[in-house]
Chain A
Amino acid sequence: MAEFFQFLMSGLTVGAVYALVALGFTLIYNASDVVNFAQGEFVMLGGMVTVFVAAAGVPLPLAALIAVTVAVAVGLLLYWLAIEPARGAPAVTLIIITIGASILLRGAAQMLFDKQFHKLPSFSGDAPINLFGAAVQPQSFWVLGGAAVIVLLLYVFLERTVLGKAVLATAANRLAARLVGINTTTVMALAFGGSAAIGAVAGILITPITLTSYDVGTLLALKGFAAAMLGGMGNPLGAVAGGLLLGLLEAFGAGYLSSTYKDAFAFIVILVVLFAMPQGLFGRRVVERV
């Protein structure tokens, strides 16, 4: 049983990070139809900038804040300099642009920082907490709590504020949103900035557990994209559920079946789910109009 809780907690912790990456994907996708393959680089920036700013003697909370600010700035620049000028281009062209951005950001990080792995100290010590016989790192609670707070804030923002409703309206129908006077450009910039912030926070929270380096973004983007699709692209709650599910699958698969094929379980399950439900777990079935 202790083993079970051990896997459960580690699965949820990793899953929470996947969920945040997937949430970032979903936010941008909903506002702009762009699948942003540079999403993982936001996570990388969060961790790396915090590490290097903290190493320069800045207290950790302030370093984290600076990292989030940097990520948001990068997100906004990505939108204004690369996505907005290509508005109306085919979807696959936009994907290639974000891939280009991801290569660029990785290159920049490698240049400004280095190619080494880096660690942050845990926020509240390293003494494991005993939970049903499982030894859980305190940082896990930071990750889970942080993810919960972000999901909650995002929910309140989308459902309770005028700007949030503008985001939802833009997601539902961009033309109609523009017609009722919503500045969809602002909404898209907001989506890129917000999703960069979410990614950066995820990066800061997870770095004490998994380490970070200039190239951690690729695999995270892959898993986040997978989680978003698993939940049904464009559905924020689906993205969170998909992320957690993916994390659990990996943890239990690695624990009970084979640790060398840890990454395989997630993708096997995704293939099986998509074969059975081509719209993802929570996606709506669409009737093609002709």
Chain B
Amino acid sequence: MPAWLGHRSLTLIVLAAIVVLLPLGFPSSYYFRVASLVWVSAFAAVGLNILMGQAGQVSLGHAGFFGIGAYAVAIGPAHVGLPSWGALLIGAVISAALAWLVGRPILRLKGHYLAIATLGLGVLVALVITTESRWTGGPDGMSVAKLSLLGWRATGSSTWYWITGGVLVAGTWIALNLGETPTGRAFRALHDSEVAARVAGVDVARFKLQAFVIAAVYASLAGSMLAMMNGFVNPDQAGFLHSVELVTMVVLGGLGSVVGSIVGAAMLITLPQVLTVFQEYEHLLLGLIIIVSMIFMRDGIVPTVSRWLAGRVRT
């Protein structure tokens, strides 16, 4: 990877610049909305990439945590009388606690067994949300109170654009921080060789659990933001297909690359918007684009492109 892409501060500056400058070219509030959706998904993907890209552990149930965050800000104000921001924090705490509780037995599993166990966890969360309709409104979903802080209410797509953009920059900063610290090195080490990591004294179980909890909190916060932004939640946000979508973002962009997760999210969110002009061909084309990009960029978009750029610079 070329040095300018690998460099932490530069990545952050470029990202922040994009967030700040992008609205200059927005002709309507629709664009603010789509961009906010990208930032929210990118935030969740950046977190999932810590688990999948750095620590090398698959999760096919991450939308479960997304759903917990989303329903926390829905249920908290509506049924318990909590302020939205308090509900957001409690959602994150619940997600972290659940991840911590089930993480230890689940993360002992490897490969496809880990995939099915996380998938099961996600499905169970989604099932509870769909079934407990007294609290959640069941399959139809429920409306979400607007975020208000000290009398200020967050409404309108441009407000949410700045909130989500800011949170994404912060989340990216943390993910980039982690890379070159003892914790980040432990993650990457156990990804490449669990045996060698253990022999070097890395408590593999503990670090897998940490990565799982971090990724769960990212997903939960993303869920809360989306719910408050939309003013509405439904069980699909916790569902299997959404989990798959999150994983696809991370892998499409490039496993292990923070920039890749953001690019992957941007692609998967904007593509369907663009493809709507093709109407009924939409899903067909989406599937086709995913297949073709994975065949020709098997390590993901960002690693492949940056390798290509590095090659061009050298020759």
Contacts and interface: CB of A to CB of B under 8 A. Distances in A.
Tell me if chains A and B make direct contact, with any CB pair below 8 A.
yes
Interface stretch (A97-105, A140-148, A171-179, A184-192): A97-105
Contacts of A279: 113
Contacts of B244: 37, 99
B214 interface: no
Contact of B240 (A91, A222, A264, A274): A222
Contacts of B108: 278
Interface stretch (B13-21, B39-47, B245-253): B245-253
A279 B247 CA distance: 24
A90 B298 CA distance: 7
Interface in B281-301: 281-291, 294-295, 298-299
- Scoring A108, A260, A267 by chain B CB atoms within 10 A of each residue's CB, the highest score goes to A267
A108 to B, nearest CB: 5
Given A99-B290, A263-B123, A107 B281 contact: yes
Contacts of B105: 275
Interface string A238-261: 000000000000000000000011
Given A222-B240, A264-B124, A103 B294 contact: no
Given A35-B115, A82-B295, A264-B128, 9 more contacts: A90-B255, A93-B299, A100-B286, A100-B290, A218-B240, A229-B116, A270-B117, A271-B102, A271-B121
Nearest to B284: A107
Contacts of B255: 90, 92
B263 interface: no
B284 A226 contact: no
Given A90-B298, A93-B251, A261-B127, A103 B287 contact: yes
A85 B131 contact: no
A1 interface: no
Contact of A274 (B109, B241, B288): B109
- Scoring A97, A226, A268 by chain B CB atoms within 10 A of each residue's CB, the highest score goes to A97
Contacts of B116: 225-226, 229, 270, 274
A5 B220 CA distance: 44
Contacts of A93: 251, 294, 298-299
B120 interface: yes
Nearest to A214: B283
Interface string A276-290: 001110000000101
A248 to B, nearest CB: 18
Contacts of B229: none
B237 to A, nearest CB: 16
Nearest to B126: A263
Contacts of B241: 218
A95 to B, nearest CB: 8
A97 B290 contact: yes
Interface residues of B, number: 47
A284 B119 CA distance: 22
A217 B277 CA distance: 26
Given A92-B251, A267-B124, A274-B117, A86 B195 contact: no
Contact of B294 (A37, A100, A225, A233): A100
Nearest to A283: B113
A270 B282 CA distance: 35
A280 B115 CA distance: 13
B219 interface: no
Given A92-B255, A268-B124, A222 B119 contact: yes
A104 B284 contact: yes
Contact of B290 (A103, A225, A288): A103
Interface string B256-270: 000000000000000
A101 B58 contact: no
A111 interface: yes
Contacts of A275: 105-106
B298 A89 contact: yes
15 contacts: A90-B298, A96-B248, A96-B290, A100-B287, A100-B288, A100-B290, A104-B284, A107-B282, A222-B119, A267-B124, A271-B120, A275-B105, A275-B106, A278-B109, A278-B110
Contact of A104 (B110, B195, B283): B283
A264 B126 CA distance: 10
Interface in B123-168: 123-124, 127-128, 131
Contacts of A92: 52, 58, 247, 251, 255
B112 interface: yes
A110 interface: yes
